[in-house]
């Protein structure tokens, strides 16, 4: 962390900037919430924090999506970027700066970087021939492709492109970069990821193509309007723009270097760990203090959760599930999802997200351990001490020591980003506090008239609750504030400062105010029963569907051969695609099909399929559907039904 001449400690933390046309999902939320927790922790310590996130808007896929929506790319980006603002607002993300790569100032910075690197000879003009994956916006070497010229990342077909282009001389920086990373292991974390980056660089950094033909979207190359700057090169520069590089030298000097740059492991090796660092070296700018790459959220089957795979988890749906099942407030549910993400999986490793797991942790950790401590302690203070602990107790046992241990663990965990270890440490304190209440039995002390001991015991427990509220505040800010309110510190205007994370600092005279339970317990049995009932209903429906029908009934179904002319995702529906098909009629028809999770639009275009042509038209998610496409598979479409030789559209199937 940079300490400046005025003695302030500064903390500059970044997330990647997200593709503007993505819908925020659990992966984006994970990176952003981690950055948020770290930023909140440093603010509590009194550090001057700059927490930057934003949107990456110059991807070619934005142009395509804008065309499909009938908008120009900028208008489209303006419209869709709000889904990130909205998501971060709802998920309690306290960013200081939301940067968009379409901002005039950022574009100016990108052009300036380019200009300087051209001048220094680090960027030069040449020809490029390569395999390009449009959805991933990435070139791949031929030997990196999967069989059948498929993208090694998303599995879709790549295109061969040859063009005049500008190259960044990354090759000149490989050795220096390797030395730098080896000498400063904390620059890339965790260790296993650093080793991946090092072995990537050891193979020899290739010069990187950093421009594309100008098709009207992107930052133009200064002095050469034929080209625009490659979206990744443009996007990485956001970290410089947000810090004021070449815009406000004073701000830049105060802010740079980033203390922590967070990202998922997929964008570490090729982009942040090599390209980005080499760019900084070429510019003569100090490297970030730490790049930290976390793992992926995967499905139960181990598949990465992503929009292109159509298996996204919407954090908001999980929040709604918690509200519905427990009756907690939406804000508490948001905090619970934040908690789950960091408690369930070691930060840095992959993990499977499961709604069942979320509900179980809500009950066990939040309703039981934390909620229970609060709900049993505050009534005791109300009953035995008139709601007030009016003088600091002497410390009646082992809790002060436990508090100090949890605080120390939390502080180290924030340095190493061991978010799970941090929460485990706090939960050990909660377990100790619950045990302490059981063992010291304040109700007996009261009966026996042992007033001094009673006060001391309750003081220590409320003090443990106070420090717990401080320690969980970075991850669960709203819950922490509610606890603060219930133990009477909000009313006393006691600030939530990290300096007070020590035992014995509960101020005298706090008036506790028991509130509604923060974490109403979920009836997991009821949840299970409902899931079983749903399964049963689906089974019955399937059986129903398998009943015999007459020949005449079958002949009523008008099955036709149709050719798919176009295919697009249906906005807001992960499973649906909107197809335009030629069924040999005067006009093509539009059909909504539940194929999106198994088939990409590109795979379907040109495919000959079987259409149920006389199905009543329906409006699905606001989109007109005239018919149905046949596919094998029950729950999930596994294969399309296609003719085994050429048949003209409109031909009857029977
Ligand atoms: N726009 C680029 C980043 C440019 S930064 C200069 C980009 N954007 S993204 O929208 O695809 O999302 C990036 C972030 O979300 C990455 O940190 C990525 O690792 C994270 N995740 C996306 N899916 C994920 C999971 N399934 N699990 C965890 N995080 C993953 O890349």
Domain shared by 392 and 488, yes or no: yes
Domain shared by 472 and 559, yes or no: no
Domain shared by 397 and 480, yes or no: yes
pTM: 0.82
Tell me which of 511, 540, 573 is where a domain ends. Answer: 511
Residue 441 lies in a domain: yes
Domain shared by 376 and 503, yes or no: yes
Determine if ligand 1 sits within 6 Å of the CB of residue 353.
Answer: no
Query: Tens digit of pLDDT for each residue in 223-266?
Result: 999 999 999 999 999 999 999 999 999 999 999 999 999 999 99
Tell me which of 481, 511, 541 is where a domain ends. Answer: 511
pLDDT at 137 over 80: no
Domain shared by 377 and 503, yes or no: yes
Query: Tens digit of pLDDT for each residue in 405-433?
Result: 999 999 999 999 999 999 999 999 999 99
Residue 363 lies in a domain: no
Q: What backbone torsions phi and psi does residue 138 show, to the nearest 5 degrees? A: -140, 140
pLDDT at 634 over 90: no
pLDDT score for 86: 97
pLDDT at 74 over 70: yes
Residue 217 lies in a domain: no
| Nearest atom (ligand 1) to Cα of 236 | 6
190 cis-preceded (ω within 30 degrees of 0): yes
pLDDT score for 140: 82
Pocket test for ligand 1, best of 13, 14, 15, 16 (most atoms within 8 A of CB): 16
CATH number at residue 502: 1.10.730.10
Domain shared by 507 and 557, yes or no: no
Domain shared by 485 and 584, yes or no: no
Task: Return the structure tokens found at 363.
Answer: 């009950």
Beta bridge mates, 277:
none
Better pLDDT: 625 or 395: 625
Determine if ligand 1 sits within 6 Å of the CB of residue 110.
Answer: no
pLDDT at 456 over 60: yes
Query: Tens digit of pLDDT for each residue in 393-408?
Result: 667 789 999 999 999 9
Confidence band (pLDDT; 50, 70, 90) for 8? low
| Nearest atom (ligand 1) to Cα of 16 | 5
| Nearest atom (ligand 1) to Cα of 297 | 27
**Total tally of structural domains belonging to the chain:** 2
pLDDT score for 394: 63
Determine if ligand 1 sits within 6 Å of the CB of residue 18.
Answer: yes
> Rounded to an integer, what distance in angstroms lies between the CA atom of residue 133 and that of residue 568?
18
For the range 611-617, what are the long-range contacts, defined as Cβ-Cβ under 8 Å and sequence gap of 24 or more? Answer: 611/559, 611/560, 611/561, 611/562, 611/581, 611/583, 612/557, 612/558, 612/559, 613/558, 613/559, 613/560, 613/562, 613/583, 614/556, 614/557, 614/558
Domain shared by 382 and 483, yes or no: yes
> Rounded to an integer, what distance in angstroms lies between the CA atom of residue 304 and that of residue 43?
33
Confidence band (pLDDT; 50, 70, 90) for 144? confident
Residue 228 lies in a domain: no
CATH number at residue 637: 2.40.50.140
Determine if ligand 1 sits within 6 Å of the CB of residue 31.
Answer: yes
Residue 534 lies in a domain: no
Alpha helices for 184-220 (secondary structure H): 191-202
Residue 390 lies in a domain: yes
pLDDT score for 6: 52
Domain shared by 482 and 569, yes or no: no
Tell me which of 460, 491, 511 is where a domain ends. Answer: 511
pLDDT score for 174: 97
Residue 579 lies in a domain: yes
* Containing structural domain, residue 429: 371-511
DSSP state of 270: I
Domain shared by 383 and 483, yes or no: yes
User: Are β-strands 9-19 and 260-264 bridged in parallel, bridged antiparallel, or unpaired?
Assistant: parallel
Residue 75 lies in a domain: no
The overall average pLDDT reported for the chain is 93
Region 603-612 average pLDDT: 92
| Nearest atom (ligand 1) to Cα of 31 | 17
pLDDT score for 87: 97
Domain shared by 502 and 592, yes or no: no
């Amino acid at each position: 962390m940079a300490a400046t001449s005025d003695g302030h400690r500064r903390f500059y933390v970044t997330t990647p900037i997200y593709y503007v046309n993505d819908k925020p999902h659990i992966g984006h939320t994970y990176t952003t919430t981690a950055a948020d927790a770290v930023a909140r922790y440093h603010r509590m310590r009194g550090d001057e924090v700059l927490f930057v996130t934003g949107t990456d808007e110059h991807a070619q896929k934005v142009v395509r999506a804008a065309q499909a929506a009938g908008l120009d790319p900028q208008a489209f980006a303006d419209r869709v970027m709000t889904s990130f603002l909205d998501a971060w607002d709802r998920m309690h993300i306290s960013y200081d700066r939301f940067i968009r790569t379409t901002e005039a100032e950022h574009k100016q910075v990108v052009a300036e970087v380019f200009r300087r690197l051209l001048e220094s000879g680090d960027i030069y003009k040449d020809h490029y021939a390569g395999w390009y994956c449009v959805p991933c916006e990435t070139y791949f070497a031929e030997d990196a492709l999967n069989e059948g010229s498929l993208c090694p990342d998303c599995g879709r077909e790549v295109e061969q492109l040859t063009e005049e282009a500008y190259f960044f001389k990354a090759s000149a920086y490989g050795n220096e970069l390797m030395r730098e990373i080896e000498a400063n292991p904390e620059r890339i974390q965790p260790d296993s990821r650093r080793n991946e980056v090092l072995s990537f660089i050891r193979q020899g950094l290739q010069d990187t193509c950093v421009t594309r033909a100008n098709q009207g979207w992107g930052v133009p190359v200064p002095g050469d309007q034929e080209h625009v700057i490659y979206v990744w090169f443009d996007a990485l520069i956001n970290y410089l723009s947000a810090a004021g590089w070449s815009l406000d030298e004073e701000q830049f000097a105060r802010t740079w270097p980033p203390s922590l740059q967070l990202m998922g492991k997929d964008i570490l090796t090729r982009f942040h760990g090599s390209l980005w660092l080499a760019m900084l070296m070429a510019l003569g700018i100090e490297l970030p203090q730490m790049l930290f790459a976390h793992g992926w959220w995967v499905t139960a089957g181990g598949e990465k959760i992503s929009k292109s795979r159509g298996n996204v988890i919407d954090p908001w749906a999980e929040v709604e599930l918690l509200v519905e099942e427990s009756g907690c407030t939406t804000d508490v549910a948001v905090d619970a999802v934040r908690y789950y993400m960091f408690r369930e999986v070691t930060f840095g490793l992959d993990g499977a997200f499961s709604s069942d797991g979320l509900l179980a942790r809500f009950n066990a950790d939040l309703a039981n351990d934390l909620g229970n401590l609060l709900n049993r302690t505050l009534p005791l203070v109300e009953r035995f001490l008139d709601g007030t602990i009016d003088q600091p107790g002497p410390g009646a046992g082992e809790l002060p020591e436990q508090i100090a241990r949890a605080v120390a663990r939390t502080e180290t965990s924030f340095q190493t980003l061991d978010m799970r270890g941090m929460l485990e440490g706090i939960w050990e304190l909660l377990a100790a506090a619950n045990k302490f209440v059981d063992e010291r039995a304040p109700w007996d002390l009261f009966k026996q008239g042992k007033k001094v001991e009673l006060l001391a015991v309750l003081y220590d427990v409320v003090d443990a609750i106070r420090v717990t509220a401080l320690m969980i505040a970075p991850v669960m800010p709203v819950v922490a504030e509610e606890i603060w309110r219930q133990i009477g510190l909000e009313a006393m205007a006691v600030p939530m400062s990290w300096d007070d994370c020590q035992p014995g600092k509960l101020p005298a005279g706090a008036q506790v105010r028991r509130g509604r339970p923060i974490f109403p317990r979920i009836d997991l049995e009821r949840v299970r029963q409902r899931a079983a009932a749903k399964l049963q209903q689906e089974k019955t429906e399937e059986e129903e569907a398998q009943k015999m029908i007459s020949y005449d009934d079958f002949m009523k179904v008008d099955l036709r051969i149709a050719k798919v002319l176009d295919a697009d995702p249906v906005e807001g529906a992960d499973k649906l695609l909107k197809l335009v098909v030629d069924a040999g009629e005067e006009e093509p028809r539009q059909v909504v099909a539940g194929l999106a999770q198994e088939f990409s639009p590109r795979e379907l275009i040109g495919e000959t399929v079987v259409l149920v042509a006389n199905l009543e038209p329906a409006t699905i998610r606001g989109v007109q559907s005239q018919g149905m496409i046949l596919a094998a598979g029950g729950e999930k479409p596994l294969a399309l039904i296609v003719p085994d030789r050429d048949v003209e559209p409109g031909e009857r199937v029977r």
